[in-house]
């Protein structure tokens, strides 16, 4: 089995622990970092542990064995699938200060033949856990980041060699730079420049148009554009969570959605009065139906654009973390038809109560996955005075990057 260079993995671990978790700052002494890492990413375990120990922090590792998820769903009863281990999960949220999730798969299709409803029920059973995490995050008491570790199975699926696949990770995470963190800080400044310019505009709506899309989304004046905060490594997107009540039109996605160990291809959605009224897919339409049937998963929770000048990702990776940040000719557009991000609230999110989420029309859902398109888009902002302004075209925001 090919094992990547330890020093390279240590640079990667430093980016996660010493940059991503505190948005460019080191984690503090005695903080607790919970790390979820699969068995197939084992070479990354020790570099992550060393980076955490160098920070005088405490690491709690959840080491996930390969090949057990399918066995669970094949043998568990409905009651066991929906079981919520309240003491464990609530204690976990109380204890941890940060979370690092390493994405790696030994078999991308492990759950392909599992009933999608079983998986959706399992996800729905964790609703309380997700709410506790979000509450702690909104109070600025916890942060998280997600990163990718490339395996042979993942590379095979993307039609790349393992070295080509990992080369994309090296470039996307700036691990080929002498000081990756310095390059991340520079990129962060570029994203903040675009984000801040967008946030000076009183945007009430956006229109997304091209031959495969004609969609109108209400942003609302209490929303801001977000990005450059490094919950995802890498991340080059600028996103917001719209007013869930007003989405109208149609959109088609040319990139597949990997979810629950399966793939859904060529998704098309039609919205009427903010609800998905029609949907189709060339593959796994029944799984898409089960996902949309999750409570509130039939509404938009996120709208996002990626500028092709920022991203170093040049190949399709068949993983949403990278594919939602592709920097191809036309950048990319994606939406999530699931949970919202309350950091897009223009004011202090730490003061938001659960009742405020409904009042401000954020979408609440236990699931969040992005559906991506890399075809051309013209995105027009409709301002509060009725003026229309093109903000994104040819894969780029209509602002210079200095």
195 is in which domain, residue-wise? 184-397
How many other C-beta atoms lie within 10 A of the C-beta of residue 208? 21
Element holding 270 (H helix, E strand):
strand 268-272
Structure tokens at 172: 């996307």
Q: In what order do the strands lie in the sheet with 378-383?
A: 275-280, 268-272, 247-252, 213-218, 203-210, 378-383, 388-393, 396-397
From 128, 57, 58, select the one nearest 89 (Cα to Cα). 128
What's residue 400's pLDDT? 63
- Report the number of distinct structural domains present in the chain: 2
Same domain, 244 and 367: yes
Are the CB atoms for 248 and 206 separated by under 8 Å?
no
Same domain, 10 and 139: yes
41-50, 78-87, 90-99, 236-245: which has the minimum mean pLDDT? 236-245
From 102, 101, 104, select the one nearest 162 (Cα to Cα). 104
For the chain, what's the residue count? 402
Section 13-19 average pLDDT: 94
Same domain, 172 and 202: no
What's residue 350's pLDDT? 72
Band of pLDDT at residue 2, cut at 50, 70 and 90: low
pLDDT over 90 (residue 209): yes
Same domain, 211 and 152: no
Q: State how beta strands 262-264 and 257-259 pair.
A: antiparallel
Classify residue 1: in a domain, yes or no: no
pTM of the model: 0.83
From 387, 281, 275, 282, select the one nearest 337 (Cα to Cα). 275
Classify residue 402: in a domain, yes or no: no
Section 373-382 average pLDDT: 94
pLDDT over 90 (residue 345): no
Band of pLDDT at residue 365, cut at 50, 70 and 90: confident
Q: What does the mean pLDDT of the chain come to?
A: 90
Question: Residue 48 is part of a domain; what is its CATH number?
Answer: 3.40.1830.10
Same domain, 27 and 147: yes
pLDDT over 90 (residue 49): yes
Band of pLDDT at residue 103, cut at 50, 70 and 90: very high
Same domain, 167 and 309: no
Classify residue 307: in a domain, yes or no: yes
**How many whole angstroms separate alpha carbon 161 and alpha carbon 315?**
12
Q: Name the β-bridge partners of 373.
A: 333
Structure tokens at 251: 């959109």
Same domain, 200 and 77: no
SS3 content of the chain, % helix, strand, coil (to 5): 35, 25, 40
Classify residue 125: in a domain, yes or no: yes
Structure tokens at 319: 């993983």
Same domain, 146 and 237: no
Same domain, 52 and 190: no
Same domain, 156 and 193: no
Classify residue 134: in a domain, yes or no: yes
**Of 180, 205, 221, the domain-final residue:** 180
Read off φ and ψ for residue 207, nearest 5 degrees.
Answer: -110, 130
């Amino acid at each position: 089995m090919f094992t990547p260079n330890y020093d390279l993995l240590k640079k990667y671990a430093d980016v996660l622990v010493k940059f991503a978790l505190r948005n460019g700052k080191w984690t503090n002494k005695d903080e607790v970092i919970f790390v979820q890492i699969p068995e197939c990413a084992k070479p990354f375990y020790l570099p992550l542990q060393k980076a955490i120990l160098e920070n005088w922090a405490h690491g709690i590792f959840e080491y996930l064995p390969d090949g057990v998820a399918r066995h669970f769903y094949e043998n568990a009863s409905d009651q066991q699938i929906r079981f919520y281990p309240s003491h464990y999960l609530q204690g976990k949220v109380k204890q941890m200060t940060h979370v690092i999730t390493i994405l790696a798969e030994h078999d991308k299709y492990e759950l392909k033949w599992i009933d999608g409803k079983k998986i959706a029920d399992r996800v729905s059973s964790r609703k309380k856990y997700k709410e506790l995490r979000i509450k702690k995050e909104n109070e600025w008491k916890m942060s998280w980041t997600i990163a990718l570790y490339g395996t042979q199975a993942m590379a095979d699926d993307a039609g790349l060699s393992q070295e080509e696949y990992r080369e994309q990770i090296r470039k996307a995470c700036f691990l080929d730079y002498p000081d990756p963190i310095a390059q991340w800080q520079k990129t962060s400044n570029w994203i903040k420049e675009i984000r801040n310019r967008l946030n000076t505009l009183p945007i009430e709506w956006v229109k997304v148009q091209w031959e495969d899309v004609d969609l109108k989304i209400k942003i609302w004046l209490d929303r801001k554009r977000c990005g450059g905060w490094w919950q995802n490594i890498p991340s080059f997107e600028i996103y917001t969570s719209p007013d869930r009540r007003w989405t109208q039109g149609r959109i088609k996605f040319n990139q597949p959605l990997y979810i629950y160990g399966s793939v859904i291809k060529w998704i098309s959605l039609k919205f009427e009065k903010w609800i998905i009224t029609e949907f189709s897919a060339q593959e796994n339409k029944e799984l898409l139906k089960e996902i949309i049937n999750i409570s509130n998963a039939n509404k938009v929770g996120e709208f996002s654009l990626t500028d092709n000048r920022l991203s170093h990702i040049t190949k399709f990776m068949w993983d949403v973390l990278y594919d939602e940040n592709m920097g191809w000719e036309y950048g990319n557009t994606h939406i999530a038809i699931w949970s919202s991000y309350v950091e897009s609230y223009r004011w202090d999110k730490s003061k938001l109560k659960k009742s405020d989420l409904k009042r401000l029309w954020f979408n609440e859902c236990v699931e969040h996955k992005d559906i991506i398109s890399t075809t051309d888009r013209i995105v027009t902002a409709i301002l509060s005075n009725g003026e229309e302004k093109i903000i994104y075209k040819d894969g780029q925001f209509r602002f210079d990057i200095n």
